[in-house]
Amino acid sequence: MKLKIYSLIAVSTVSLALSSCKKDFLDQTPITQVGPDVAFADAAAAEKLIQGAYDGMYNDYHIWDYQTNGDVRSDNAYSGGDNPANFQIDLFTVNSTNGNVLRDWNSLYSDIKNCNLILTNVPNIKDSKLEVNNRRNQILAEASILRAYMYFNLVRLWGSVPLVTKIPSEGADFYPAKASVDAIYAQIISDLEYGAANAQTTSANKGIMTKGVANALLAKVYATKSTPDWAKVSTYCDAVINGGYSLVSNYDFLWDSNHKNNSEAIWEMQYDGWGGKHGNWMPSVLVGTGWKRFNTPTNDLSKAFDNEGDAIRKASSIKFNNVVSEGWSDSYWNKASYPYINKFRADDKSDNYILRLADIMLLKAEALNELSAGGWSSAATIVNTIRNRVGLGATTATDQASMRLAIEKERRLELAFEGHRWFDLLRTNRAVAVMNAQTDGAGANLNYNVTTAKLLFPIPQDEIDKNPNVR
């Protein structure tokens, strides 16, 4: 019997991630998912549903794979480690049986299912408590923003995918065909516009979906569509920039684990350690001794920091250790000075930013530069603000073309290992050229042989077997 595409994905499948590791970092209590047996009777049930949607995000995709897909697939990191699925992503040899591809598909659709449970059932709950302080609409807005984010990831990773916005009932609903990319973006924008209109304005807990999250995502969506709408990008960036956020004074405060939910954070995961509900195992697989870690910073990124004289952001982003005594080899680096990602330091507690203000400010600079030939000058003011925080002088860009490359570089150095780089290269049509120019530490070309056909993930074979309509 064929399994339904929209069935609840078992959390145990995430163990594919580290199947060849020496230690099992996923040996933990499964994340509780909200299933269809929840009684949709009152305000308490509605709160349980939205909490379940948030809790469902503490899975492999949002903890770690977002970085593998955004940085290892780019020029920021090599796969490191010993996992064949990660090697394929790094070397652009991904096929439909890749375990990471399957689990990411499952994770994102499981998250969407949780959102659809809310959006289908919460409007029908008859409980006056949901009308207090507009709570019903806030819950619906939070679920809409979350669903939009999941589809934004799906469409950027796979392109055309099934667009499921309700709980399937029977027949063809269980085996949906792929929707067009335009239709998916239309749904994303609709969800985010509802979210921006109805979500809470702010929250001390930066894991909650607010107007700021919705506006930031709208800016990124309009910049990513096949035909960017730079006027709307600018408008939504302004809504975020004027929405009460501010850059933290010290760049390293973002990563020292002592400044969580800070003024720069728009949306960050809320990890609390294994003693709480949400532990973050990612730092354990990025840095440490005893075995080769994953997502190794590239020679090219290290050189980019050095060429810019960017010592502050490099120190916050990359840590070098002597690991000569360890019994593993590496094709890219001398083990006497071996790099590790340094943005995630407190094992099981480090938060990761899905959205922060510097990202949106640089996107605003990009919009200004694209809206007019002379916009580069206004863009430079924003770029220089970001650079000044880390002790760098003004950008040397002097026209629209040079400013494009300056912003691209600034985004890379500012946002390294935050899962953005690959998607920046994709949306600016720079992925093929940049990746095919990559060299190792000795200057030899890495021969990625990237083509446009390799820019998107294939639909997982397991999904094709269950649902032939996605071929």
How far are the Cα atoms of 56, 196, 197, 380 from residue 138, in angstroms, in the given order? 19, 10, 9, 37
The whole-number pLDDT of residue 432 equals 98
Contact 200, 208 (CB under 8 A): yes
Measure the CA–CA gap between 360 and 116, rounded to whole angstroms. 28
The whole-number pLDDT of residue 38 equals 52
Residue 204 neighbours by CB distance under 10 Å: 6
The whole-number pLDDT of residue 11 equals 30
Domain residue ranges in the chain: 1-199+429-471
State the CATH architecture for 1-199+429-471: Alpha Horseshoe (1.25)
Measure the CA–CA gap between 337 and 293, rounded to whole angstroms. 14
Q: What is the block-wise mean pLDDT of the chain (471 residues), using blocks of 10 residues?
A: 35 30 33 48 95 95 96 98 97 98 97 96 96 97 98 98 87 84 98 98 95 98 98 98 98 95 97 87 91 97 98 98 96 96 89 95 98 98 98 98 98 98 98 98 96 98 94 89
Contact 382, 368 (CB under 8 A): yes
The whole-number pLDDT of residue 339 equals 97
The whole-number pLDDT of residue 18 equals 30
The whole-number pLDDT of residue 167 equals 86
Contact 384, 261 (CB under 8 A): no
The whole-number pLDDT of residue 350 equals 87
Contact 78, 67 (CB under 8 A): no
The overall pTM is greater than 0.75: yes
Residue 301 neighbours by CB distance under 10 Å: 23
Contact 326, 290 (CB under 8 A): yes
Contact 287, 340 (CB under 8 A): yes
Q: How is 287-298 classified by DSSP, letter by letter?
A: S-SSSPPEEEEP
Q: How far is CA 74 from the centre of its chain?
A: 13
